[in-house]
Chains A and B, each alone.
Chain A
C-alpha cells in the first residue's frame, strides 16, 4: 500500500460547531465509521481484481 490511512489524513471529520451533536458524539460516530471502513480495507485484494490488473498490463504491452 502506498496510501496510508494514518493520522493526519484522517482528521477530515472534525466536529462542527453549528450542529446538534456534541463533539463527543461526533467523535463516537467517526470511530465507528472508520472501523466499518477499515474492516473492508484491511481485506486482501480479491484474486479476480489482481487478475484483471495482470490482463490489463498484458494488453498494454502488445
Chain B
C-alpha cells in the first residue's frame, strides 16, 4: 500500500476521472458498470503509484489500467460476452437521450455495433485525444493495428449510417467546445 501521495498527483488523478469515465462508458456502454471500472482503476492505480513515474503520461497510464481491467474481465466472462454485448447494444440504443437528437442516437447505436477493439481504437484516437502511437501503447498492439482498426471502424460506421458522398454532413449539432 502506498503511503503519501503528493497533492499534485492526487489532483491530476481527479482531473482525469471525467475522461476515464467517458472512456469506460464508451467501452462497456453502461454508466453503472463504467463507474465500477473507474473505481477499480483508481484503486489499482493508487496501489501501484510507485510504478508510475511522475512526469510521464498519467492519462495514458490510467487508460491502460482501465482497458486492461475491462478486457480481462470480458475474457473471464467469455461465455456471457455475446449476451453482454447484445444487452449493451440495446441499452445504448434505447437511452432516451436528454438531447433527443435522432442523428446522435443513430450514431450511438452504430457505435455499439462495432467490435470492442475497433471501438476502443476509434475512441482513443478520435475522442480521448491520444496519438496513434499512444493508443497503440495503451492497447498493447502495433501502431499499424490501431490505424487499421480505426479505419475499419470508420468505414463500418459510414456503412451503418448510410453515409456516402451525397450525405449532408453539415447538419451535425455543433457541440460547444
Contact = CB atoms under 8 A, between A and B. Distances in A.
Interface in A37-62: 37-43, 45-46, 48-49, 52-53, 56-57, 59-61
Nearest to B5: A60
A12 B152 CA distance: 16
B43 A25 contact: no
Given A21-B158, A53-B42, 4 more contacts: A1-B15, A12-B125, A28-B172, A36-B104
B21 A40 contact: yes
B116 interface: no
Interface of A: 1-3, 5-6, 9-10, 12-13, 16, 19-22, 24-43, 45-46, 48-49, 52-53, 56-57, 59-61
A40 B158 contact: no
Nearest to B23: A37
A28 B163 contact: yes
A58 to B, nearest CB: 11
The 5 A-B pairs with the shortest beta carbon distances in the complex, nearest first, are A37-B127, A2-B15, A13-B126, A41-B22, A28-B169
Given A22-B165, A36-B111, A60 B35 contact: no
Interface residues of B, number: 60
Query: Could you tell me the dominant secondary structure of chain B's interface residues?
Result: helix
Contact of B126 (A12, A19, A61): A12
A4 B151 CA distance: 26
A41 B111 CA distance: 17
Interface centre among B111, B128, B129, B175 (most CB of A within 10 A): B129
A41 B4 CA distance: 28
A26 B157 CA distance: 10
B150 interface: yes
B80 to A, nearest CB: 24
Interface in B123-144: 123, 125-132, 135
